[in-house]
Amino acid sequence: MKTKIILSGLLVLVIISCTSTKYFLPSSETINVNQYGSYINITHKRSVNIMGELISIDSSRIVVLMESTHKCVSVSISDVQRFKLQYANPKRYGWSIPAYTLATISHGVFLIFTAPINLIVTISVTSGGESAFTYSDKDMTYDKLKMFARFPQGIPANIDLASIK
């Protein structure tokens, strides 16, 4: 019974590690040359959540290119309950769980001790990799949030919001 539970958990973690990435987020190696804004998930006080690319932010509003409609939406900062920002695609370590757990077969009798230790370590590393490259409203102010926008100094006058893709 325990084996089925453990194998089911491993299967779920491997599947989760294969989730899709956002096309506009850079890898961890190319963070400094990204031309797009970061991915933001805004929890609205009175409406549905807004998810997509952070285009711009000023003292009163946040402009987001919505992931679902591919259109820009302006949200008043006073209507934001909280936000979560992801500025790069996370590292995927899901493969390490089954690989390192199976590697404990070479430990012989000590497998009884080393397999659970390997499971604990690889699961914690995998979950840590998934939460890397993220900030929330607890970590930063709206002023610092500007650094992660496509247009950190505001939308230029010659750019129409409807033309942003």
Query: pLDDT (tens digit, 9 = 90+) per residue, 11-68?
Result: 655 555 444 556 566 665 555 666 788 889 999 888 889 999 999 998 889 999 998 8
Read off the CATH number of the domain in which 71 is found: 2.30.30
Say if pTM beats, i.e. exceeds, 0.75.
no
Q: Are residues 96 and 150 in the same domain?
A: no
Based on the structure, what is the number of domains in the chain?
A: 2
Confirm if 75 and 62 have CB atoms less than 8 A apart.
yes
How do 61-66 and 72-76 pair as beta strands? antiparallel
Domain that holds residue 5: 1-22+92-131
Any domain includes 162: no
Distances from the Cα of 100 to the Cαs of 15, 85, 94, 115, in angstroms? 17, 31, 11, 8
Beta bridge partners of 83: 42
Any domain includes 50: yes
Please compute, for residue 50, the number of CA atoms within 13 A of its CA located in the half-sphere on the CB side.
26
Q: What CA–CA distance (Å, rounded) separates 19 from 92?
A: 9
Q: Are residues 85 and 137 in the same domain?
A: yes
Beta bridge partners of 154: none
Indicate the helix (H) or strand (E) that contains 63: strand 61-66
Q: pLDDT tens for residues 83-127?
A: 999 887 777 767 777 777 778 888 888 888 888 888 888 888 777
Q: Give the confidence band of 2 by pLDDT, cuts at 50, 70, 90.
A: low
Q: Are residues 118 and 138 in the same domain?
A: no
Q: Are residues 138 and 85 in the same domain?
A: yes
Q: Are residues 83 and 46 in the same domain?
A: yes
